[in-house]
Structure 1
Amino acid sequence: MRATTPHPSHLVSSEDNDQEERSRLLPEDTDTEDAKDREKRLFRRLGLSFFLFGLINNVLYVIILSAALDLVPPSTPKGIIAFCNIAPALVAKVGWPYVLKGRIRYAKRIIGCALLSVVGMIVVALFDTLLMRLLGICLASFSSGLGELTFLQLSTTYAPPSVGGHSVGYFASGTGAAGLVGAFLWWEVRSFGVRIGVGVSSVLPFILPLAYFYLLPSPAGFLELSSDEQTEFANSSPIAPYAPIPTEEVPGNSERNLNITPKRTTLSLDDKIRLVKPLLVKYMLPLFCVYTFEYTINQGVAPTLLYPVPEAGRHWVLGKIIHSVRDYYPLWQLVYQTTVFISRSTISLGIPPLPQKLLSVPAIVQGVILLVLSAESAIGFFADSDASSIIFVFLLISLEGVCGGLAYVNVFYRINQERPDPNDEDLERIKQEREFKIGSVGFADSSGILLASLLAVPTEIELCKTQVRRGKLFCKGL
C-alpha cells in the first residue's frame, strides 16, 4: 500500500498560519523590548545625573581641605580652614528649609549654587590675603550646603519609591567619590600654585546646571513606565501620582502635562516643627553621632596614630607604602575616603539598605571605634616596632569609613521612601512636606562635623602628651 503524502497545500496553509501568528505577536514583543530599553536608558541617565550632582557639589569641599596647607600662612591654624569650610554649609542646611516658603524653584537654585561656588573659588584664587581667601571658602561652603539640600529634595520628585531610592543611592555614591576625586585633582594641580590650581577647579560647578538641563530625565517619564510597583504605588497613593508633582522648574515637565492645577499651599513654621519632631531621634541623632565620632577620629585621633617606618626587608608591602612618619596620616585618610565611597555606593550597587531598626548601629560601632583608636594612640596594644599596630589601625579606619558611609546613604534613603498620610489629598502639601523632611535632616551631619572640629584639637593635644609621657615622640616631630 502506498503511503499517503500530505497535500502541499496543507503545508502552505500551516506555514501561512504560523507566519500570521508570529506577525501578530511580533509588534507586541517589539513594544515590550523597546519599553525595557527606554526604562534602562532613563535609569542610567537618572543615576549618572545624581552621581554628578553628588560628585561636583562635594568635590570643592574636598579640594579646599586638601589645599589647606597651601591656602594659609604657616603660622595660621589649619583648623580655621575646616571651620570656614563647614560652618556656612551648616547655616544653609539649618536655615534654608525653615526660611523657604512655597515650592522650590530647582532650576534657579541650582544655577545660583553653581555661580556662588564659582565666585567663591575665584575669590580664593585671585586674592592672597587670608581674609579674602576665607571669604571665598565661606561662599563655596554655603553653596555646597545649599546644593546638597537641593539635590536631596529633588530626589523626592521622582516616583515610584524605587526611582526615588535610585536617585538617593547614586547621589550618595557621588558624594563618596568626591573624597577621592577631590584629593586626586588637587594632587595633580597643586604644582601650578594656588592661583592656577584653584582657578582651574572653579569651572567644575558649571557641570551642575548642564547635567540638570541636558542629562537629568523628567519625573513624568517614570510615571509612564509599566511595572507592578508603579501599579501598586498608584493604587496606594491618595491621588495618583502624588510624588513627582513636576513643576516648570523640572526640565521637560510642566503641570499642564499632568492636567494638575496646584493649590497655593505654604507650610507654616508650626507645620515644619510638627514634621521635624519625629525625625530627631529616628534619623538626625544617628547621623549626628556618626559624624561627631567619625571626624573626631579623623581630625583628633588619626594624626597621632604614628609608628616607626617599617623595614622594607621585613615588611615589603608596608615598606613600599610608608617611607616616613609623615606618610601615616595621608594613608589613614586614603583608607577612610576609599571605604566611605564604597559604603555610600551600596544602594547604587544593588545591596539592600539597612532595615529601619538598624539605622543606629553604625553610630554605636563608630563610638566604639573612637574609644578603641584613642586607647591605641594613648597606651598602644602592640609594641611600636610591631607591624600589627599598623594593620590593626588600618582595619579600624576601614570600618570607620564603612560606618560613616552606611549611615549617610541609609538615613536619606529611608526618608526618601517614607509614604505620606493616605488621608491627605492635598498634592502640593504632600510634595512640600516630603521636600522639607529630607531637607531638614541634612544639618545633622554638618553639625556633627562642626562639633568634632571643636573636640579634635584638645583630643589631639592630650593624646600627644600621653604618648610623650611614655616615650613615644613621633607626634612632636611633625
Structure 2
Amino acid sequence: MPLIKRISINNLIAFWLLGLCNNFAYVIMLSAAKDILEKETKNGTSNYNETCPKDEKDIKCTSISTGSVLLADILPTLFIKLLGPFFLMHIAYDIRHIIVVFFQALSYIIVGISKSVEIGLIGVVFASLGSGLGEITYLSLASHFSNNVISAYSSGTGGAGVVGALVYAAMTDPYLLNISPNKTLFFMTIVPLIFLICYSKLLKCPESANQFGIFNNIDNYDYESIQNEIDEEMDNENVTTRNEGSENAVTPLSYEEKKKIIISMLQFMLPLVVVYYAEYFINQGLLELISFTCKKGFNLTLSAQYRWYQVLYQIGVFVSRSSHKLCVVKSKFLPILSIIQIINLIIFYFDAKNHFIGHIIIVMALVLFEGTIGGKAYVSTFSQIHEKTTIQTREFSLTFVAISDSIGIVLAGFSAIPVHNYICSLK
C-alpha cells in the first residue's frame, strides 16, 4: 500500500479512536450515575445489586436525581467550550491532548477510590473537563484534514457510548461479572494509556496544525492536495472547499469576523441544542423513574435496568453516527430531528408519571430509537458545517458549534432535578 494512502487510513483510524477514548470517561460517569449516588459513606458500597423488585410498591425513587451527576458531567465541559474558541486555539494540539489524557485518568482514579457522593462528583468534574477540552480540540484539529475524519471521529464517539456503557453494565451486573463499581473504575484506567498512544503513534498531523512537537508526529506532505486525491479514490466525493487554494496557512480571524460566523452558525446550533436537551432530559431525568418489576423487566435489578437503558441508547447513537454516508441529513432538515426528539420526550415523561407502558422491552426499543435520532443530529450537523464553511472559517466554526450539545445537556440537567422531585412526590 502506498505510504500516502496508508497515512490517510491511519488518520481515519486515529480519529475514530480519539472519539472513542475522549467520550469514554463521560459515558462511564453517566452509566455509573445511580451507583455514584448510592455510595455509602462507610465503605463506598451500595445494595443496588441485590434483587429485582417483586412488586411495584418495591420501586422507590432515589433521593437525588441522576440529573445532578449529569450537571457535574457537563457544566465544566460547557465552561471549557465557551472559552475554547477564543483562548485555547493558541495552545498547541499535542499539549492539549496531554492535558485531556491527564484529566481522564484522574477522573477514573478519584471516582474509583471515593466513598462518598461528594468525592465521586469531583471525579466526574475532572472527566467533564477532559471531555470538553478533548471535543473542541479534536473537532478543530479535524479542520486540517478531509471531511472524512469528521465521520470517523463521530463514529468513535458513538463507539465510546456502546463500548463504555456495555463494558460497565457487564462488569457490574450481578448475573455477569459482578465486579464492584469502584473496582470497575480502576480497570478503566487502561483507556487513557490507549488515548495517549493513539495520538502519538498513529496520527500524522499536517504542518498547518499548531503542534509543540512533543510526539514528533508531524506529516511533511502537502496534505491538502494529497487528501483530495484520496477522498476521490475512496468515495468519489467532491469536496469543493478543498479547492480554495493550495496554501495551508489560516489567517487569524478578527472579532467582527467571529461575530458574523457565530450568527451564521445559529441555523446549525439551535436544532442540535433542542435534540440534546430532549434526549438528556430523557436519559438523566426520566429513565431512572421508569422501572419494572421482575416479571415485566427481565428479572433485572433497578440499577441494572438503568444501565442497560444507557447501553441501548449508546447503540442507537453509534449506529447512526457510523452510517452517515448511507443517510445524509442536509442542514434544512435538521429541525425535523429536533421535533422527533421532543415527541420522544413527551412519551417518556407521561410514562414516568403514569406508567402506561406494560413491559421494559417497549421502553428499550424507544431508547434505542432516541439514541439513533441524537447520533444522526450530531454527525449531520458537524459534517454539514465542514462542507459549507471555507478553510479560513472552518476551525472556528467547528469549535464554536461544539458548545451546542453542552448547552442542551446543561438545560436538561437543571430541568431533570425539579421534574424528578415532582414525579416522585406523586408516588
**Alpha-carbon separation, structure 2, partners of 1:326 and 1:110:** 34
The answer to whether the aligner puts 1:287 opposite 2:272 as a matched pair is: yes
Q: Which amino acid aligns with 1:186?
A: Y
| Residue identity matched to 2:310 | Q
CA distance 1:205–1:193, shift in 2 (3 Å):
same
Structure-2-length-normalised TM-score: 0.78
Instruction: Indicate the residue corresponding to 1:398 in structure 2.
Output: 368
The residue type paired with residue 418 of structure 2 is: P
The Cα of 1:295 is off from its aligned counterpart by 1.0
Amino acid at match of 1:434: R
Structure 1 position 205, deviation (Å): 1.6
Question: 1:227 Cα deviation (Å)?
Answer: 6.5
Match of 2:312 among 308, 319, 335: 335
Distance 1:379 1:125 in 2: 37
Same amino acid, percent of matched pairs: 31
Contact map agreement 2:317 2:375 (CA 8 A) in 1: yes
1:223 to 222, 225, 228: 225
Residue-by-residue CA offset, 1:205-262 (whole Å, 9 max, x unaligned): 2323321222124444563364695997689734x225xx2xxxxxxxxxxxxxxxx5
1:455 partnered with 2:415: yes
Which residue matches 1:301? Answer: 286
With over 3 angstroms needed to count, the CA separation of the structure-2 counterparts of 1:202 and 1:227, relative to structure 1, is closer
8 Å CA contact 2:34, 2:303 repeated in 1 = no
Matched AA of 1:150: T
Shift of 1:127: 5.5
**Aligned with 1:359: secondary structure?**
helix
Give the AA of the match of 2:271: P
Distance 1:215-1:456 versus aligned 2 partners, 3 A rule:
same
Q: Find 1:445's aligned residue among 382, 385, 405.
A: 405
Matches within 5 A, 1:347-358: 347=324, 350-358=325-333
1:65 corresponds to which residue? 30
8 A contact 2:4–2:226 mirrored in 1: no
Does the 8 Å contact 1:344/1:408 carry over to 2? Answer: yes
SS of 1:266's equivalent in the other structure is coil
Matched-pair contact (CA < 8 Å) for 1:49–1:216: yes
Rounded to whole Å, the distance in 2 between the matches of 1:276 and 1:207 is 35
What letter corresponds to residue 370 of structure 1 in structure 2? L
Alignment of 1:417 onto 2:387: yes
Counterpart of 1:55, as a letter, is: L
Change (3 A) 1:331 1:136: closer
Q: CA deviation at 1:266?
A: 3.2
What is the alpha-carbon distance in structure 2 between the residues aligned to residue 356 and residue 445 of structure 1? 16
Aligned: 1:346 with 2:323: yes
The one-letter code sitting in structure 1 at the alignment partner of 2:330 is P
Instruction: Name the SS of the counterpart of 2:160 in structure 1.
Output: helix
Contact 2:40–2:116 under 8 Å retained in 1? no
Is residue 169–residue 307 contact of structure 2 (8 Å, CA) maintained in 1? no
SS in 1 for 2:328: coil
Separation (CA, whole Å) in 2 of partners of 1:440 and 1:101: 11
Q: Cα–Cα, structure 1 residues 329 and 113, in superposed 2: closer, same or farther, change >3 Å?
A: closer
CA–CA separation in structure 2 for the residues paired with 1:100 and 1:325:
42
Q: Quick one: distance in 1 between partners of 2:268 and 2:127?
A: 27
CA distance in 2, matches of 1:171, 1:126: 31
Q: CA RMSD in A?
A: 3.2
Match in the other structure for 1:266? 252
Amino acid at match of 1:205: P
Secondary structure class of the residue paired with 1:353: coil
* Inter-CA distance 464–345: structure 2 relative to 1 (3 Å threshold): same
Give 1:192 shift.
5.7
Consecutive unaligned residues of structure 1, counting only runs of 5 or more, are 1-33, 246-261, 312-317, 421-429, 469-478
Alignment match, 1:114: 101
- Using a 3 Å threshold, how does the CA distance of structure 1 residues 463 and 105 change in structure 2: closer, same or farther? same
Query: Contact conserved, 1:305 with 1:328, CA < 8 A, in 2?
Result: no
What's the counterpart of residue 13 of structure 1?
Answer: none
- CA 1:296/1:71 → structure 2, altered by over 3 Å: closer, same or farther? closer
1:87 aligns with one of 75, 89, 100: 75
- Counterpart position of 2:246: 241
Could you tell me which amino acid in structure 1 is paired with residue 366 of structure 2?
A: L
Whole-angstrom distance in 2 between the partners of 1:441 and 1:358:
17
Pairing 1:10-409 to 2, within 5 Å after superposition = 39=5, 41-71=6-36, 73-74=39-40, 77=64, 78-100=66-88, 102=90, 105-126=92-113, 128=115, 131-158=118-145, 163-164=146-147, 166-187=148-169, 193=180, 196-219=183-206, 220-221=222-223, 223-224=225-226, 226=229, 229=232, 237-238=243-244, 240-242=245-247, 245=248, 262=249, 265-280=251-266, 282-310=267-295, 321-323=298-300, 328-347=305-324, 350-379=325-354, 384=358, 387=359, 390-409=360-379
| Equivalent-residue separation in structure 1 for 2:242 and 2:181 (angstroms) | 55
Matches of 1:270 and 1:462, distance apart in 2: 45
Between 1 and 2, higher relative CO (CA 8 Å, sep ≥ 6) is seen in 2
Q: 1:66 to 1:378 in 2, by over 3 A?
A: closer
Whether the aligned pair in 1 keeps the contact of 2:313 and 2:370 (CA below 8 Å) is yes
8 A contact 1:298–1:333 mirrored in 2:
yes
Using the alignment, how far apart are the partners of 1:273 and 1:131 within structure 2?
A: 39
Number of aligned pairs? 380
Contact 1:322–1:328 under 8 Å retained in 2:
no
TM-score, scaled relative to structure 1 = 0.70
Distance 1:60 1:235, change over 3 A: closer
Unaligned runs of 5+ in 2: 42-62, 173-177, 207-221
Letter of the 1:283 counterpart: F
Shift of 1:370: 1.2
